[in-house]
Amino acid sequence: MNDIVANDKLGAFCRHTHVESMGAASGPLAGLTFAAKDIYDVAGAKTGFGNPDWLATHEPAARTAPSVQMLLDAGAHLVGKAHTEEMAWSLTGENFHYGTPVNVNAPGRVPGGSSSGSAAAVAGGLVDFALGSDTGGSVRLPASYCGILGIRPTHGRIPLDGVAPLAPSFDTCGWFARDADVFERVGRVLLRDDAPARSPRRLLVARDAFAFADPGAAEALEPGLDKVSALAGAREAVTAGGEPLAAWLECFRSMQGAEAWAAHGEWVTRVKPRFGPAIQGRFEWARDIPPGDVARARARREEIARRMDEMLRDDAVLAVPSAPGIAVPCRSAPQLVEHARNHALPILCIAGLARLPQVSLPLATLEGCPLGLSLIAARGNDTMLLALASRAAR
């Protein structure tokens, strides 16, 4: 075990699934270090998925996930596996079995989940960048809570072979970094895109998304909006949803739950794993989602995607809060956690439903804690977002 993992005081790394691998001697990421969320396979090592029973009932990986291999081939050194919420299905980062990684930029508060260890390792300076995953917000929310850069790419843009699924039609491979240049360089490797990035032509501000922001959060994000506007064009207020975003959230929840049960229901039924209370409740709910609700949600999703495609045509960018507010305190009452979740997911589900790329920028603070501003672009405009984020973060 290397010194970084052995001396980890943040609880970011997995000791029970530790693996490391040297990258190529040269390449665009040579000399950089990274962590991989413990849902990514590395040949010869087990993938823990945040749950001891998953770890005990699965064999070591036969091959390394292509996304991890691309980074190694580009010269980056894998330091270790980073903690995840169990089954990658939560937003706080408090794992029932393995604890909560430390959020160095908001002491005493959660790092956000489910990519909690990856975000904590980057924010704490343990690695240069880290792989996470984003289904319903698991990169974007931790990036906001920890005050770092994070991106959910266009759905399907980066291969997810060798990555434990949650809801495959929403799952994406995302990443975190503190440094804007590193953030963009990693993206160029994973997206396999060296073409010059286009420039945004319009900045749209989603007033219905900002309506979910906590008191003071929207005001705190104003300077960030001004900064982005100077790079992307004059602001225009819009309504992202043709109906309340809470209705979009119900569409997302039905599909996510049904897909999670389809992916893991057989294992849950057979193994009867020990879950934390929140995850146990989610799988019990997912088991009984009516098929008719799922079918209606799938049809509605395509209508939502068409709406967003039209809104973001001609290289427009949509601004939304990355989170409704700052991270909640560790071990908060369930009611407070559920309140934060119910205000975050209507914002976060926009990009997921429409399969869009979204980047979170650390452009604000509130009560001394980080707060992110997010930018959403049309499908395939990932490098445009990366370049814009790089300029704004500098």
- Active-site residues: which are they? 37, 114, 138
d(CA 87, CA 115): 11
| Angle ∠(165,167,169) on CA atoms, nearest 5 | 110
Count of residues for the chain?
A: 394
Residue 69: HSE in the Cβ half-sphere, 13 Å Cα cutoff: 12
DSSP-assigned letter for residue 251: H
The backbone torsions φ and ψ at residue 193, rounded to the nearest 5 degrees and listed phi first, read -140, 110
CB 81 within 8 A of CB 38: yes
The backbone torsions φ and ψ at residue 103, rounded to the nearest 5 degrees and listed phi first, read -95, 100
Q: Are strands 369-377 and 358-366 parallel, antiparallel or unpaired?
A: antiparallel
CB 30 within 8 A of CB 153: no
d(CA 141, CA 122): 14
Neighbour-count burial of 33, counting CB atoms closer than 10 A to its CB (0-12 exposed, 13-18 middle, 19+ buried): buried
